[in-house]
Amino acid sequence: MKKLLPLLAFGALGLTFSSCIEERIDVGSPETEGFSNALTLEFNSDEFATLSQSLDIDQTITMASVNVPFHIQMTSGISTVDQTSSDARKALLGRVLFYDSRLSATGETTCASCHKQEAAFSDDIAFSNGINGAVTKRNSIALGSVPTFAPVISGYGSSGDEQTAQVDGDVRFFWDERAGTIKEQSEATIQDELEMGKDIHELSSELKELEMYKILTMKAFGTTDLTPDRITLALEKFTSSIVSMNTRFDQMRDEEIFSGVISGNFTASEREGAQLFRSNCSSCHGDEMGKPRINIASNGLDEVYSDKGVGERSGNSWENGIFKVPFLRNVALTGPYMHDGRFNTLREVIDHYSEGIQDHVNLHPNLKGNNNQPRRMNFTEAQKQALIDFLETTTDQSVLVDPRFSDPFRE
């Protein structure tokens, strides 16, 4: 219970904050022309006609409402995550930015080139194609669980105009966790010379002049001034609205909690996989497939890492080979796997944990045996398949086809 209390408090706080901020921003913004209309969820017919020249979107913006599975309600005290009107308006601007090739210096990439909706917003190759023939240094990370249930578990304060949404302090972004917020991460990505190579101030000056962005920015922020800060905030609102909580995995957990038994809706193999995951994997990845229990670790991929991960950034040898513990929701769709995309299939991942863990000096104790040597889980064939079957239950099919996350551009 000790652990539950702060979570509950956080959840409640998040909700309170979001409504206060919403009021302050919406009421306090300047009385620009068209401002009163900016606060509604509908574009007027002139606006809609202009937008429709380049975009295929609805005239009315929908606010997302996600039902929180029971097992997550227990730790959060919240039964639905309801997007505020303010967040929905910003997320729409963010969606357009996410798919706009103007964000890259050469027009070659959009955020979606490396975060594809059909692949749960990951890329299907180990290193993504950037601009000017460059490739990324690491494997793209799936965005389907970026919010880390932040609205639920940590009270993701719906940030106002000038604020940065604070994701639960200790959840950070990128494989080496160098970014503290998605805003920070987005700015880094846009300016990264391999990925998009665009100066964010130049980008802001360019986009501000376009009618389409004037309308969308007015709707999102009550002003047409699309500053760098507002660009990254809108991208953050979009990416955090992608929540994967509608899965068979969640149904299985709920059944287990409600009745203590898992029904025949789940195969014997899936049930066995759930048990195996609990005894071998959830000590790091967590039981809820949400926030991991341990944020960063070495899982013993190599004895000597060529990419040192957190150690590369900090220069500390005790952080060599240490990487973010990734979210596993939708994992069946997000291969190739690991920071360098070395494994093409889940089977290869399971083989690694079963018999391939290397004796790296920083190997996490959860993957060591009593003799202080790398653990050998030595799964049988059936157990390996059970783990794969179980991991496949975490796929949220709705995220892959939800029009709120799809490419809004006409051509």
Contacts with ligand HEC, residue ranges (CB under 6 A): 103, 109, 111, 113-115, 128, 130, 136, 138, 140-141, 143, 146, 173-175, 182, 185-186, 189-190, 195-196, 235, 239, 280-281, 283-285, 294, 297, 299, 301, 323, 325-326, 328, 331, 334, 337-339, 349, 353, 364, 366-367, 387
CA dihedral (393, 399, 402, 403) in degrees, to 10, reads -150
Q: Which two tokens stand for residue 152?
A: 């639920």
Q: Which two tokens stand for residue 28?
A: 């306090």
Q: Which two tokens stand for residue 407?
A: 């490419």
Residue closer to ligand HEC (CB basis): 86 or 186: 186
Q: In angstroms, give the least distance from the CB of 109 to ligand HEC.
A: 4
Residue closer to ligand HEC (CB basis): 38 or 150: 150
Q: In angstroms, give the least distance from the CB of 21 to ligand HEC.
A: 22
Q: In angstroms, give the least distance from the CB of 189 to ligand HEC.
A: 4
Answer yes or no: are the C-beta atoms of 170 and 295 closer than 8 Å: yes
Sign of CA dihedral 146, 149, 151, 153: negative
Q: In angstroms, give the least distance from the CB of 266 to ligand HEC.
A: 18
Residue 219 CA to residue 190 CA, distance in Å, equals 23
Residue 158 CA to residue 21 CA, distance in Å, equals 7
- Token look-up 């970014």 returns 179
One-letter amino acid of 164? T
Residue closer to ligand HEC (CB basis): 173 or 213: 173
Q: In angstroms, give the least distance from the CB of 231 to ligand HEC.
A: 9
Residue closer to ligand HEC (CB basis): 18 or 128: 128
Q: How far apart are the first and last CA of the chain?
A: 53
Residue closer to ligand HEC (CB basis): 72 or 325: 325
Residue closer to ligand HEC (CB basis): 266 or 353: 353
Q: In angstroms, give the least distance from the CB of 24 to ligand HEC.
A: 26
Residue closer to ligand HEC (CB basis): 69 or 321: 321
Answer yes or no: are the C-beta atoms of 68 and 79 closer than 8 Å: yes
Q: Which two tokens stand for residue 19?
A: 């409504």
Residue 41 CA to residue 44 CA, distance in Å, equals 10
Q: In angstroms, give the least distance from the CB of 171 to ligand HEC.
A: 8
Residue closer to ligand HEC (CB basis): 38 or 349: 349
Q: Cα angle vertex 372, ends 369, 376, to 5°? A: 35
Q: Which two tokens stand for residue 219?
A: 């709707």
Residue 291 CA to residue 311 CA, distance in Å, equals 22
Q: In angstroms, give the least distance from the CB of 72 to ligand HEC.
A: 18
Residue closer to ligand HEC (CB basis): 71 or 364: 364
Answer yes or no: are the C-beta atoms of 396 and 329 closer than 8 Å: yes
Q: Which two tokens stand for residue 238?
A: 């979009």
Residue 52 CA to residue 163 CA, distance in Å, equals 31
Q: In angstroms, give the least distance from the CB of 5 to ligand HEC.
A: 26
Q: Cα angle vertex 108, ends 107, 113, to 5°? A: 120
